[in-house]
Amino acid sequence: MAFDADSVKIGRRGLLAGGGALGVTGALAACGGGEDESGSGDESTGPWEFTDDRGETAELENRPTKIVAFTGMAAALYDFGVEVPAVFGPTTNEDGSATTQAGDLPVDDLEVFGNVYGEFDVEAYAAYGPEVIMSHYYIDPAALWYVPEASASDITSLAPVVALSANDEALANTLDQVIGRHAELAASLGADLESDDNVASKERYDAAVEALRTAAAANPVRVLACAAAADTFYASSPNMGNDTRFFMELGVDIIVPDALDAATGSYFEFLSWENADKYDADLLLLDNRVQSLQPDQLTEYPTWNALPAVQEGQIVGWEAEPMYSYGLAAASIEALAEAITNAKKLF
């Protein structure tokens, strides 16, 4: 689920999609190819094309190596075995360490054209000579995630665009399906989905999914997906995230808030800290991204400390922007399965 507490003030499009209409004409203008630096398979010697979730087909004379991708997408591709040398989006924390969205990316070796929301160095991006740019979109296929609206046309005119849906218009696609699409994209870029590493990751993912299904059936605790900011506690709608939709399909009982904020897309309900106990939750699924306060930062909030789930230590980190490879997703699913298995029924 794409929630950025720092972006609430800029409205629904800025909050959910990072702004930006895709320049269809510019998206078809291919930049020249270079030597294969991807290390993801055989050298690029033939034509490449990929049809994305908008139905648009990106085409190049050779498989691209100068790929620029949103950090989360780059992390997924890297986990499948595709080198992505340049990114935009939350990549490093203030201390230089990788963000949760960067996965296992070698962040010190990357070209980073923007590390925070609304930041994108268009001049540096143009000078880099991208062959293709890749990102997600949420509901609106004309909004590319983490591409600033003001410079979107300039950015998307420089290279073909590949956009994968994190939330389709019907809010029907789930984590499982989104990962599958990333696998298809990775394969087109040279990843070997039958490699030992990828097969092992898929087996681990499948086992994690079954563990979560089993845990939810054996211990049907109530879960609240949430995020914390200095002045607000956010109760998130599980219907608005491809991961939480998937978890509910597996039987997890996730609370649906009853006063969702329609102005920001009904992604969550704003609660004052005085009302943080509105919902009886046995387990908190807490946004673990850098923009959300974490348990060690919330110790001075009396109403946080008073929550039964907090008192019992029944909190599990939530990748509110999920990781879209089998290996990366497996870890978070395993953590949720373990948390549910060990949780006490508090209500």
pLDDT attached to residue 298? 97
Q: Which CATH number does 5-194 carry?
A: 3.40.50.1980
pLDDT attached to residue 44? 52
What's at 132, amino acid-wise?
V
Beta-strand runs (E) in 63-203 = 67-70, 86-88, 111-112, 132-138, 161-167
**pLDDT of 319-344, one tens digit each?**
999 999 999 999 999 999 999 999 99
**pLDDT of 52-108, one tens digit each?**
999 999 999 999 999 999 999 999 999 999 999 999 999 999 999 999 999 999 999
Q: With bands split at pLDDT 50, 70 and 90, how would you rate the model's confidence at 15?
A: very low
pLDDT beyond 70 at 23: no
Q: With bands split at pLDDT 50, 70 and 90, how would you rate the model's confidence at 259?
A: very high
pLDDT attached to residue 199? 98
Cα–Cα distances in angstroms (integers) from residue 65 to residues 32, 108, 323, in the given order: 11, 18, 22
Burial of 9 from C-beta contacts in 10 A (0-12 / 13-18 / 19+):
exposed
Q: Classify domain 200-342 at the CATH class level.
A: alpha beta
Tokens 């209500």 sit at which residue? 347
At 298, list the tokens: 């919330």
Quote the pTM value. Answer: 0.86
With a CB cutoff of 8 Å and minimum separation 6, the contacts of 177 are 242
Share of the chain above pLDDT 90, in %: 85
**pLDDT of 123-180, one tens digit each?**
999 999 999 999 999 999 999 999 999 999 999 999 999 999 999 999 999 999 999 9
Encode 203-237: b = buried (16+ Cβ within 10 Å), e = exposed.
ebbeebbebbbebbeebebbbbbbbbbeebbbbbb
pLDDT beyond 70 at 246: yes
Please determine whether the domains at 5-194 and 200-342 fall in the same fold group of CATH: yes
Task: Give the separation between CA 322 and CA 165, rounded to whole angstroms.
Answer: 12
List the domain boundaries for the chain.
Answer: 5-194, 200-342
At 204, list the tokens: 């681990």
Q: Residues 189, 42: contact at Cβ < 8 Å?
A: no
**Average pLDDT in the chain:** 89
pLDDT beyond 80 at 268: yes
Backbone dihedral region for residue 336 (phi beyond 0: left; psi -120 to 50: alpha; all else: beta):
alpha
